[in-house]
Amino acid sequence: MGVPQTMEALRERADFIKESLQKSQIITDNMAAILGSFDHRLSALETAMRPTQIRTHSIRRAHENIDKTLKAAEVILSQFDLTRKAEAKILRGPHEDLESYLEAIDQLRSNVKFFSSNKSFKSSDGVLNHANQLLAKAISKLEEEFRQLLTNYSKPVEPDRLFECLPNSLRPSSSSGSPRKHGNDNSKSPTEHQGKSLENAVYTLPTLIPPRVIPLLHDLAQQMVQAGHQQQLFRIYRDTRASVLEQSVRKLGVERLSKDDVQKMQWEVLEAKIGNWIHYMRIAVKLLFAGEKKLCDQILDGVDSLRDQCFAEVTVNSVSVLLSFGEAIAKSKRSPEKLFVLLDMYEIMRELQSEIELLFGSKACIEMRDSALSLTKRLAQTAQETFCDFEEAVEKDATKTAVLDGTVHPLTSYVINYVKFLFDYQSTLKQLFQEFDASDPDAQLTSVTTRIMQALQNNLDGKSKQYKDPALTQLFLMNNIHYIVRSVRRSEAKDLLGDDWVQIHRRTVQQHANQYKRVSWAKILQCLSVQGGGSGSGGGIGGDGSASGISRAAVKDRFKTFNVQFEELHQRQSQWTVPDSELRESLRLAVAEVLLPAYRSFQKRFGPMIENGKNPQKYIRYSPEDLDHMMNEFFEGKTWNEQKR
């Protein structure tokens, strides 16, 4: 294609585009005119519609306000309805349905809160006054209901029921109606005998109020607290439970005794009362007080300050009565026999100390806790002072009771039994020593025991000087020291005093036995010696039995003197006593081993001089066998009449 043709084609296309653009402008102008016309019409329509729109919005807002008002009225009416229903339940009282009654009180409180926050309500003040009056009446009825429930179900616990709550080892024997007593049979209380077994003993808390009633009492208490009636609740609970607890303690046998009351009592009566008090303390703390604590915690759960104060006020009088008896004993006149009951009392207070601190651990109970601790320390102090008194009393005992037969003195057996009992209290004594002295308690116990033994020996030395016969003096000391040594060897005191102490005192016994033989038999043995004036190997009587510077008359006189002296010794020393059979036989044998050989020798040598004369039996009255037989009657404690028979 040539250039002219191409140019022509481009011209045609340009003309076509120009024509199209002109048509598009015309259409655009026409559309703009139409739209302008619409805008004018809409503006006029909007102006015409505005009053209608305003009325419609007002109507919508009116409807919304009406809905809100209706809903508010409905809520208020529902509160009125709930108040009416609650009032009906409250007027019926809590007896029929306590749970529903408590719900009604909660509803009333809710209503009061509602109307208090809706003061704009025209009649809110009147409604509030009515609701508050109704609430006050409801709480008053609750107080009465709480008092009646607590009173009706609070009964003193009978002793038999309490005994059933104890471990088997602590229950009364079937033949007695009271706990085992610390009586005249010197039986020890369970604390000493069972020691560690009691540490794991199971105590069953008594049921003070039926379990089904406790939740009701708890709910009632909560309502009273919410109503601000804590003091009314406190007074009701304290007065009711304190009275019942005090009755339980009295039924058990506890009585308030003063120092003067204690001082006037006979020892046997007082000892029994102390034994009972030990059991009463255990029962009171582990059962009654622990039961009261649990009950108080359950009923007053969530009201800590009131709960602690209530428990303190409920128990204070009962605790005071129990502790006052202990104080009276601790302050009464000291005497040796009181040491063991003081230790028993100290033991029970130590045993219960951790439980007392747990039960009476709150600030409200601090006085009772301190009183119990004070009693424990006072008992320890009195026991230690009594211990010291005993040591001094042993040393200075001036009993004039004469032991005519030289046997073991009552003081000796008393002191030894006393020391044996002390060893039943070893752990208690060591604890007691540590109350006042931090040094080794074993060493302290050894020192005290040694001093008591020495005090006893010092006293026995003094008593031995009462005898006019020096042989009886030695026999008396031999018997008593032997009794001490034998008792120590058979008891725990041996471990404390040691083998050296035992051996030293065994030698002392032997020394007194040797002294007895020397003092008692030296003179009679002189009659059997080959010399007239004493023991010697020189002349006097010939070794062949012939007279060698001694006449037949002198030999007769020797036999007569021997007979008189031996009969006198037999008569006197058969009335003396060596109570230990082994020691008695040993002493007889020791004398016989010296006397009989000497007599046989003398009779063999000089007997023929008498036998060939007149009336030989007048001088040679006894054969060696007769003497041996008579020796077996020595130290039997026979009276003169028994010997003649």
578: nearest Cα among 635, 539, 511, 523: 635
Indicate the helix (H) or strand (E) that contains 541: strand 540-541
Tokens of 432: 């007691």
Instruction: Kindly report the backbone phi and psi dihedral angles of residue 548, in degrees, each rounded to the nearest multiple of 5, phi listed first.
Output: -135, 85
Instruction: Kindly report the backbone phi and psi dihedral angles of residue 540, in degrees, each rounded to the nearest multiple of 5, phi listed first.
Output: 120, -65
Which pLDDT value is given to residue 208? 95
Which pLDDT value is given to residue 180? 40
Which pLDDT value is given to residue 345? 95
Q: What whole-number distance in Å separates Cα of residue 275 and Cα of residue 269?
A: 10
Q: Report strand pairing: 540-541 vs 547-548.
A: antiparallel
Which pLDDT value is given to residue 42? 65
Which pLDDT value is given to residue 492? 82
Which pLDDT value is given to residue 242? 97
Alpha helices (runs of H) in 284-409, residue ranges in sequence order: 290-299, 304-331, 338-359, 366-396
Cα–Cα–Cα angle for 61, 63, 66, rounded to 5 degrees: 110
Which pLDDT value is given to residue 545? 41
User: Does this model's pTM top 0.85?
Assistant: no
Which pLDDT value is given to residue 424? 86
The sign of the dihedral angle between the CA atoms of 541, 547, 548, 552 is positive
Q: What is the mean pLDDT of each run of 10 residues along the chain (645 residues)?
A: 61 75 73 66 69 70 59 47 53 58 65 58 55 66 89 95 90 52 40 53 91 93 87 94 97 90 90 94 96 96 89 96 94 89 95 95 94 95 90 84 87 92 88 86 89 93 92 96 93 86 95 95 88 40 47 88 94 94 95 94 88 80 93 83 49
483: nearest Cα among 588, 587, 579, 590: 579
Cα–Cα–Cα angle for 152, 153, 154, rounded to 5 degrees: 100
592: nearest Cα among 554, 537, 630: 630
Q: What whole-number distance in Å separates Cα of residue 325 and Cα of residue 341?
A: 13
- Number of CB atoms found within 10 A of residue 106's CB: 12
Which pLDDT value is given to residue 538? 35
